[in-house]
Structure 1
Amino acid sequence: MSNEAEKRVVQSRETLDLAGDLDVEARARRSRTLLDEPGTCINEEEKMVSLPATLADDDPESPRNWSTSYKVLVDTILCIWVLTLTYSSTSYVASIDALMQRYNISQEVALTGVTFSVFGWVAGPLTWGPASELYGRQVVYRVCALGYSAFSFGMAYAPNAASLLIFRFLVGFFGSASINNCPASIGDFTFPEQRLRYTTLYAIMAFGGPALGPLISNFIQSEAGYKWNLLVTAIFSTALSVGVALVPETHGPTLLRWREARTSPKTASESIPLAAQLQAFRTALARPTIYIFTEPVVSLICVYLSTLYGVLYCFFEAFSVVYRDIRGFTANQYGLSYISLGLGFCVASVLLWSLGQKLYERSAQKDIARGRPVRPEARLALGYYGAIISPLSLFLFAWTAPFPRIHWIVPMIGEFFFSCSMLLIFTGFVPFLIDCYNLTAASALAAGMATRALVGSVFPLFALQMYHRLTVQGATSLLAGLSCILAPIPFIFLRYGDQMRARSRYMQLYK
């Protein structure tokens, strides 16, 4: 791109008003018109899908220039906040029997609390993801931290079953800002070459929570009762919510607007018409849905990850059938069976931190040597192995777990490899979406999170019945078969990723 063309692009982006900034289609049309002017010689990959003006990477106020220690601190606070949510999603299950007695309800109604919580994970990202692109990450985090903490305590003191279920939904709704927006915040304050290691911690917390929940909550439930089990979750979430409320703003366009407001009071005092604000808000809220149905990249990732998420939740149901009903484990022994899942996540994180980073850097160097932007597929180096390991580990569990004559360590090895493969896959695709969609990554992530949560909330409704009717072998083999069918998806991106991105109307390759 010539210097004159670059100047025109910068000037065009800086003069867009708020409503125009947030209208993706309008901005895309304007950018294409500008960049296709006669005399502007650029490659197709260099065409910029118009995005809100943001801080330059070398700007002193850019979060990408924070010190490494400060980035680690912010990343740790945000990621442990994610852990509080994922922990609460499964810790609730330990109190099912006590809640049935307390509220005089059936097991099905008590288990609906899990579904209600995950329904909140469907609605929340579709709201909080786009809102963070409109108003910034900080205000969304603070609003959600307040609601998340308040309703977590409400659960512990719910007067009846109906209020308990409503509080479960609201906890999921407000708490989902953590699991959806934190990767977008990581993208805000990291350079591409740093992103994998910071998102690895996020993935550990996102998947470690469901494994940690049963391990700890069974002991709390047996020693202190259901109320303290729910209170521990509330206290945990509130403590981290306070820390998150103190995290500074990371969203580049929001920081740029704040600076313009400080330096140009006259411009800041000019109010934006209400109609323009409402249009911008509607456009932002529609963006995740648009991405799901019009962006092949997002659609394929949603199908793959949501199915794997449903398989994970069904897999959790298999543990109680195998270890409590068939192998006769006590409640505490059953809780300890989740250690193998946790070990799988830990080993995967070490692989991502070391080997995954080296493979990404090697692939990035090849792209740079060819004179083109680093392909997002560089993020999937270990995800290809995860796609193969996932169904194999499920088959291993299916044909060893229900036979007491086979030592319990064998199915737990299957659990270990399954959790390891899940982390390799998810930690590849999360930064993949961030690299592809950059400033609208929160909306792309919201599309993925909403579909995963929707599938995850439905699968537990029939998982237990499926295991009883199809047996452990049949049900788990069915899940393994689903994983086999979807395993080629990462390889489709390897082969056709460039073509899919070239046809995208909204994507911006990170430069």
Structure 2
Amino acid sequence: MIQAWRQRKEIESDALDYIAEKSESGEDPYLMSWAPGDLRNPHNWPLYRKWLVTIQVALIAFIVSMAGSINSAADVYAAEKFGVSLEVISLQTGLFLVGFGLSSPIMGPLSELSGRLPTYEFPLLIFSAFCLGSGFAPNIQTRVILRFFAGIFGAAPLSNAGGSVADMCGPLERTYLFPLFSCIGFLGVPLGPILGGWIGEKSNQEWCDFVTAIVGLAIAVGCFFFMPETQSAELLKGRSRALRKHTGDNRYRTAMEVMLEERNESFFMVICKSMAQCVMFLFTEPITLCFALYLTIVYIVMFGDLESYPIIFAIYDWDSGKTGSVFAAMFVGMVFTGCLTPIVYKFYLRAQKKADITGEPVHPEHRLLLAMFGTWCMPVSLFWGAWTAYKSVSPWSLIVGQFVFGIGALCCFNSSYMYVIDVYTVNAASPLAALVFLRYIVAGAGSVMFTRPMFDGMGIHWAMSFLGFIAIAVSLVPIVFYIFGPQLRARSKYAMSQ
């Protein structure tokens, strides 16, 4: 917030110089825009600054992702404390994820209207407060409700991160900056059970929430002092306000302000329409719907996997600390995927050079190459785990399977998000919100709360195989879109057609 305040003051200070520059260039002086090469434009920031901002957004995503999984490894201790079944205690994770999904169509439009920064800082503080409160909850009802609201306020980084990266980067820079975000942000998912398992065993399970709240608060304080605003429209608002104040002429506006004035709608109505647009994209755009379903199934499998490992490793008589440590393999798999980024960048750079020669943009389908590789890692790891989960077989076999799963999950996430951003470009906010909305609601209401009954009813081997068959069913999605994506884009009103 302090960094953003300095940005606005710097932009406001040159307001009158801006009028002179516009008059000389013959452009409309009343519509705010950036001069070519203006270093205050986030697209022109030096690379190190873009990296730092991306890491800050990723750290917020890291803590909220960790909050979604940290309690799963300590469910046994929480169930004992509150005197409820493991199925009931899984509501604390399930409703947390549902809260993520419900608020994502709101957070995206809010960031477009008020800037990215307010949707990161203030929700993160409230998220941390609800996590702290859930640690002190006297009963399971209070705990579940507080976790639900923590999820609602924790959704911003997962809804808005694509927008923040797009604020600063063109397609080529996104090739390595978005994977940087997703790698750091996603590491919270496997790290949560690692910490939760040992915290639940060595201390009270409430400390899962206390640790989340403390880290969340620390990140929020860091963002308050050091995180800048990245949205150009919000930064240019300061210049238009200063010009209106200095000149008394109310015609100075940003493009966003002009649009809102022409629509003559209240802030609430704009938010409602943006939410409706998110739903519209989900049900009328085949690309959005297919990738929303694709990532939803990836998440069903991933969170089902998280919930199942305490059951699976019970055959080795492992405690919660050792069982949680197994997710270090998924952690390493995700880091390995992050290390593939330079290779992906070289492929995209080669495609960019060819496109420059022909004068056409790089086809978004190039983003799917990583998913076409990673999507098969998930069913392989699940069947691997399903039929080596015997006491007579070394647990290292299951651990290696988790490594492979981590590679697959992050490959699918990276490729899918970058593909949707490239397909919809300036219209990407609504389809990205739709992706978050569907996958977290279904993953929260479905996989988390029904995994244990499924494993109890089907047994370890067939329950994991069932998840593997689901993973196979969607593994063709990246291949199908790589082949038929251009035709589908040509039929869309919002997608780039070339």
Q: 1:363 offset after TM fit, Å?
A: 2.2
Q: 1:15 offset after TM fit, Å?
A: 8.8
CA RMSD of aligned residues (A): 2.6
- Which residue does the alignment assign to 2:287? 297
Are positions 1:316 and 2:303 aligned together? no
Which of 317, 328, 338 is residue 349 of structure 1 equivalent to? 338
Is this contact kept in 2: 1:394–1:479, CA < 8 A? Answer: yes
Cα distance change of structure 1 residues 58 and 129 upon mapping to structure 2, 3 Å threshold: same
Q: Please give the per-residue CA displacement for 1:3-37, whole angstroms capped at 9, x wherever unaligned.
A: xxxxxxxx999999xxxxxxxxxxxxxxxxxxxxx
- Which residue does the alignment assign to 1:496? 484
Cα distance change of structure 1 residues 408 and 456 upon mapping to structure 2, 3 Å threshold: same
Which of 56, 62, 86 is residue 107 of structure 1 equivalent to? 86
Q: 1:191 offset after TM fit, Å?
A: 2.1
Secondary structure at the aligned position of 1:212 is classed as helix
Give the letter aligned to residue 333 of structure 2. Answer: G
Q: 1:509 offset after TM fit, Å?
A: 7.0
Cα distance change of structure 1 residues 207 and 167 upon mapping to structure 2, 3 Å threshold: same
Are positions 1:80 and 2:69 aligned together? no
Higher mean alpha-carbon deviation, 460-469 vs 260-269, is at 260-269
Is this contact kept in 2: 1:348–1:423, CA < 8 A? Answer: yes
Q: Please give the per-residue CA displacement for 1:160-195, whole angstroms capped at 9, x wherever unaligned.
A: 322211110111110111222122201111221111
Number of equivalences: 461
Is this contact kept in 2: 1:364–1:378, CA < 8 A? Answer: no
Gap runs ≥5 in structure 2: 1-25
Q: 1:201 offset after TM fit, Å?
A: 2.3
Q: Please give the per-residue CA displacement for 1:445-468, whole angstroms capped at 9, x wherever unaligned.
A: 110011110121111221112122
Are positions 1:340 and 2:306 aligned together? no
Are positions 1:242 and 2:231 aligned together? no
After the TM superposition, which residues 319-398 of structure 1 pair with which residues of structure 2 at under 5 Å, given as runs? 319-324=309-314, 326-351=315-340, 353-398=341-386
Give the letter aligned to residue 343 of structure 1. Answer: V
Are positions 1:430 and 2:407 aligned together? no
After the TM superposition, which residues 12-161 of structure 1 pair with which residues of structure 2 at under 5 Å, given as runs? 55=34, 58-161=37-140
Q: 1:56 offset after TM fit, Å?
A: 7.3
TM-score when normalising by structure 1:
0.84
Is this contact kept in 1: 2:128–2:212, CA < 8 A? Answer: no
Gap runs ≥5 in structure 1: 1-10, 17-52
- Which residue does the alignment assign to 1:416? 403
- Which residue does the alignment assign to 1:211? 190
Are positions 1:481 and 2:461 aligned together? no
Which of 434, 444, 447 is residue 431 of structure 2 equivalent to? 444
Q: 1:441 offset after TM fit, Å?
A: 2.5
Give the letter aligned to residue 337 of structure 1. Answer: V
Cα distance change of structure 1 residues 76 and 117 upon mapping to structure 2, 3 Å threshold: same
Is this contact kept in 1: 2:73–2:324, CA < 8 A? Answer: no
Higher mean alpha-carbon deviation, 244-253 vs 420-429, is at 244-253
Give the letter aligned to residue 226 of structure 1. Answer: Q
Cα distance change of structure 1 residues 360 and 160 upon mapping to structure 2, 3 Å threshold: same
- Which residue does the alignment assign to 2:23? none
Mapped partners of 2:28, 2:101: distance in 1: 33
Secondary structure at the aligned position of 1:225 is classed as coil
Q: 1:277 offset after TM fit, Å?
A: 4.1
Secondary structure at the aligned position of 1:382 is classed as helix
Higher mean alpha-carbon deviation, 432-441 vs 331-340, is at 432-441
Give the letter aligned to residue 233 of structure 2. Answer: P
Give the letter aligned to residue 467 of structure 1. Answer: F
